[in-house]
Amino acid sequence: MDHGNLPAALEPSLQCVSRRQGVDEPLAPAPITSRRSPIRSQPLSAEEAKRAVSREWIGRVTEAIDRSRRFFLTSQAPEGFWVGELQSNVTITAEYIMFQYFLGRPERQRVDKAVRHLLRTQQPDGGWNIYYGGPSELSATVEAYFALKLAGVSPNQPSMKMARKLILSLGGVEKSRVFTKINLALFGQYSWEGIPSMPVEMMFLPTGFYFNIYEFSSWSRSVIVPLMIIFAKKPEVKLEGFQGIDELYATPPDQRSMAVEWSEELVSWRNFFVLVDRLLKIVERRTPPAVRAAAVRRAEQWILEHQDVTGDWGGIMPAMMNSVLALLSLGYQPTDPVIAKGLEAIERFGIETADEFWLQSCVSPVWDTAITIIALSDSGLDPMHPALTKAARWLLSKQVLRKGDWAIKNRRGQPGGWSFEFFNDFFPDNDDTAMVLLALRLVRLPEEETLKEACQRGLAWLLSMQCDDGGWGAFDMNNNKRLLNKIPFADLESLLDPSTSDVTGRIMELLGKLGYPPQHPVMRRALRFLRKDQTEEGAWYGRWGVNYIYGTWAVLTGLRALGEDFSQDYIQHAIHWLESCQNPDGGWGESCYSYEDPRTKGQGPSTPSQTAWAAMALIESGKATTPTVERAMRFLVERQQADGTWTEEEYTGTGFPKHFYINYHLYRNYFPLMALARYRQALAGGTSG
């Protein structure tokens, strides 16, 4: 990848570029002294001056900031990090129950607590949804029902009858997602023949081949490799007859087709891949045993090599459970160190109360800590405050200094990124790395050289990860062969990790604040990508946050840091779209449903996090003194709790669009703090982080 006038961009000794000095004159990113971006508010007219905020109002804003700051200062972990619950849907907990029964050693008290959690979260119509306020979803309901039945809940209970009725009304088990069918097949409740092929022999395909495991997204890869072993071995736990779920099929046994379904379109990529799938099933049955065994050994080795020293795989629960199941199917025992460590890692993701137990799909300490540092710094906390220095040192300890899967496509980059979780050395990501670098530049540490070197490594790695289209994906370069999302196995449409506007906007924000000029090749290419990716309405899609409000905030913030002229039509278009989405209560909201129907973009009940994103975007756009932004700030101030927090039931984080959403429990708190602090700075004529 060509970085134009900055050939050192891929070296750990990278020097940041100063806008004042020119492209070829280096400026060390002494993370701490880089310029801040001015927020240029529009001049007040006489009429606007009459509406200028009063001293009393500024006092209320300051009190809200102080309350929020106290919350964070009193909730920091002794080690220096912050982490909030990462709430998703019940499939993770249901799969945990299945996992325990597959192991043959369910802990009764833990299972009973998980059962109570599932029953408490059941919807009035008998199903389970995948985001707050959303409709009941078939696969989540099938998995919850089966887990409850495995755990001994009678199918005659009213809750089970309601769930069963809903499942059948939605098409039955036959219409559930591929991963649900795999979980059922492990217990003999679905035929392996009905699951799209993913032959383990794919491990032999070279990285230069169009279809190989490194063309999958990192999260898909870490799940699929162990699944390929499971498909090859087809392990199965025999259930008693009363534990089965034949009652969830919409068609009688003699009328069921286990073949992958054709598309209604005669000529389509879907039908092409269905044909390929049927051919693969024939080939699989005729594969020489020696070839199959060699492929399984290669997949086994991949799993062993990708386990973190802590026992984790990929930092996500599906990868961790599947890896344990795959190794068990190869004859490993629960007492073997690799399995024992894996089981311990899985338990660390659990949350247990006196009455319930549930499992998180992932954990977010690096992300939460970096954003909290930025919010506290925006609030005026001294850059040498013990809370910030402790958090910064903790982040420094989490820098990934070994090569991971990203190096398969990025041969020139050297390690230096950060991952999302406590432990995930193989899969650092661009978004976390950018957020960490944005945070570290706001903190002063006595060990300045250590901080500087870490930031240089991180920045060099980040620059090396820019994709050919000018944007950045999350974990890999050029992971964008969209045809792969057409294969039958990819019913979640999540096999890829292409460039996205939200991640690209965040990295542009970082580079702009470090002094990269708009004419630098890296920035020019990123800007071209963003302009091409803008929607007709003026918004930008949010891949990792819900949704167009999130994406538009990230991009406008990046454009301000870059120094773009905000009077340009395409930027004004985005600003007007955001303003048009404000709710009558002063807030902003957007439902996860906007991923399914983009016509609903920017629509939904107001939430603290989404209101903060929209308000910050408008503040960066010079709108701090407008009634629109003041109403947003009043929304936040008036809804703050006495302890400095906000409530937010809605899911505003995204795992897989249309299929998996996240309620980050700290989003409701640090983003409003950041917005209020930046509002106060803007009114005082100051600058944002």
Concatenated DSSP letters for 268-308?
SHHHHHHHHHHHHHHHHHHS-HHHHHHHHHHHHHHHHHT--
Tokens 């773009």 label which residue? Answer: 564
CA 335 to chain centroid, in Å, comes to 33
User: What is the C-alpha to C-alpha distance for residues 136 and 267, in angstroms, rounded to an integer?
Assistant: 33
CA 619 to chain centroid, in Å, comes to 26
Give the E-state strand segments of 67-205 in sequence order: 86-87
Q: Tokens representing 468?
A: 């050919």
Out of 368, 378, 429, 431, the active site residue is: 431
Give the E-state strand segments of 593-689 in sequence order: 653-656, 660-664, 687-688
C-alpha closest to that of 583 among 605, 601, 614, 613: 605
Which regions in the chain score pLDDT beneath 70? 1-53, 260, 262-264, 266, 269-270, 686-689
Tokens 């939605």 label which residue? Answer: 170
pLDDT of residue 254: 78
C-alpha closest to that of 492 among 271, 299, 259, 318: 318
Kindly report the backbone phi and psi dihedral angles of residue 357, in degrees, each rounded to the nearest multiple of 5, phi listed first. -140, 135
**Residue 506 is which amino acid?**
R
The DSSP element (H or E) to which 256 belongs, if any, is none
pLDDT of residue 19: 31
Q: Tokens representing 475?
A: 């974990």
The answer to whether residues 371 and 439 touch, using CB atoms and an 8 Å cutoff, is yes
pLDDT of residue 49: 52
Burial of 640 by CB count in 10 Å (0-12 exposed, 13-18 middle, 19+ buried)? buried
Phi-psi region of 634 (alpha: psi -120 to 50; beta: other; left: phi over 0): alpha
Burial of 615 by CB count in 10 Å (0-12 exposed, 13-18 middle, 19+ buried)? buried
Please measure the distance between the N-terminal and C-terminal CA atoms of the chain and give it in whole angstroms: 30
Instruction: Confirm whether 497 is a catalytic residue.
Output: no
pLDDT of residue 41: 54
pLDDT of residue 346: 97
pLDDT of residue 218: 96
Produce one character per residue of 355-369: b if its CB has 16 or more CB atoms within 10 Å, e if not. Answer: ebbbbbbbbbbbbbb
User: What is the C-alpha to C-alpha distance for residues 218 and 650, in angstroms, rounded to an integer?
Assistant: 27
Using CA atoms, how far residue 177 sits from 12, 260, 482, in Å, is 44, 12, 20
Q: Determine the 3-state secondary structure of 136 from DSSP.
A: strand
State the sign of the Cα–Cα–Cα–Cα dihedral 275, 279, 280, 281.
positive
**Sequence-ordered list of residues with C-beta below 8 angstroms from that of 370, at least 6 positions apart, any chain:** 395, 418, 432, 435, 436, 438, 439
pLDDT of residue 688: 56
Domains in the chain (CATH in brackets) are 59-86+363-475+498-688 (1.50.10.20), 89-359 (1.50.10.20)
Using CA atoms, how far residue 539 sits from 437, 452, 534, 542, 550, in Å, is 26, 36, 6, 9, 10
pLDDT in tens, 78-129: 999 999 999 999 999 999 999 999 999 899 999 999 999 999 999 999 999 9
